[in-house]
Amino acid sequence: MRPFRILASLAMGLFSILAYAAEPDFAPGRRVLLDAHNCYPYNGAWMDRIDRALGAGLPVGIENDLGWYTDPATGKSRAVVVHGKTCTGKEPGLREYFFEKIRPIAEKALSEGNKEHWPLITLNINDIRGSEPEFFKAVWDLMGEFEPWLCTAAKQAEPDPPAPLEVKPVLVLTGGGTNETKFFYDQVPMGGRLRLFGSGDTNQASNFRRWLNYSWHDVEPEGQPKAGDWTPEESAKLKALVDDAHNHGYWIRFYTLDGFPSDSKANQGWGPGYNFGSLDAVKVRWKAARDAGVDFIASDQYEELSAFLK
């Protein structure tokens, strides 16, 4: 019986290897990416953030938060890329700031047809700051215009487990709130294509809910500015959160890991709340996140983190 058990063990090991190899490269746990935190201008400043993120190398994650601006003169409204809840009307729209910016990348990728590293760009619309139905419909309709570029999945009958993605150069993630669920999932007809994928919870991933968004406080509760030395216990906590997410079928993102001197002139609007205080201190966390298999590591230091991951 012993040789049989050895052969059976080898067969199971080979099966596991083949099953893992059969998973697409973008599946949870398969790659670790820079997620360009707050990758949009603040009050007209730092317009180059998306250029910096794309220039840091592909594949990459890009965070764009949205607000709903209504022109008081015309009464017309539009979705704009904005930091905070107040819109002035001077903010760029998602179309021109993101989609037109990445047009050459998406069209070149589609024409070449090499899907090895697709999706090349993951757009994270984590915050849609508003509740107007017209706002969410406008976002959905805009995604429809660019659907040939987007990863999509067919909506199925309940309980609707994750269906295989039709992989394209761009993946769009969003929040998992009531409005996101209503407009980006519930109102999609059976057999229709899901264009955006929401955040989930501790349950198994679904066709719509495919990622988890964690604050770094879940690893170091004292927060980045007060964090001490990195410990084995914190490393184990991080690994447990990542493994649990992957075992439930989710991508996992952590925000936000920065490390720069507090008096640095190069902070470019980066907030102190995410700052470990030095590049050396944050590199210890970047390494831990990379080794744990975090899918999206959010940072304002696009170039430094991208170079570190490579």
Res. 262: pLDDT tops 90: no
The owner of tokens 């509740």 is 131
Note whether 172 and 196 are within 8 A (CB).
Answer: yes
- Spatial distance between the Cα atoms of 136 and 130, rounded to a whole number of angstroms: 9
pLDDT, tens digit, 9 for 90 and up, residues 151-192: 999 999 999 999 999 999 999 999 999 999 999 999 999 999
Quick one: what percent of the chain has pLDDT higher than 70?
92
Number of neighbours of residue 238 by Cβ within 10 angstroms: 24
**DSSP structure class, residue 162:** P
**Torsion 136-44-57-287 (CA) sign:** negative
Question: What average pLDDT does this structure show over 85-109?
Answer: 95
- Spatial distance between the Cα atoms of 89 and 98, rounded to a whole number of angstroms: 17
- Spatial distance between the Cα atoms of 150 and 153, rounded to a whole number of angstroms: 10
Of residues 126, 250, 132, the one with CA closest to residue 182: 132
Q: Any idea which of 99-113, 210-224, 254-268 has the lowest mean pLDDT? A: 254-268
Contacts of 35 (CB under 8 A, 6+ apart): 60, 61, 62, 63, 122, 124, 253, 255, 296, 297, 298, 299
Read off the tokens for 77.
Answer: 């409204």
Is residue 215 exposed (0-12), middle (13-18) or buried (19+ Cβ within 10 Å)? middle
**DSSP structure class, residue 10:** H
pLDDT, tens digit, 9 for 90 and up, residues 41-89: 998 899 999 999 999 999 999 999 999 999 999 999 999 999 988 899 9
CA quadruple 30, 31, 32, 36: dihedral, nearest 10: -120
| Band of residue 22 on the pLDDT scale cut at 50, 70, 90 | low
Question: What average pLDDT does this structure show over 210-214?
Answer: 98
CATH class name, domain 32-309: alpha beta
pLDDT at 10: 40
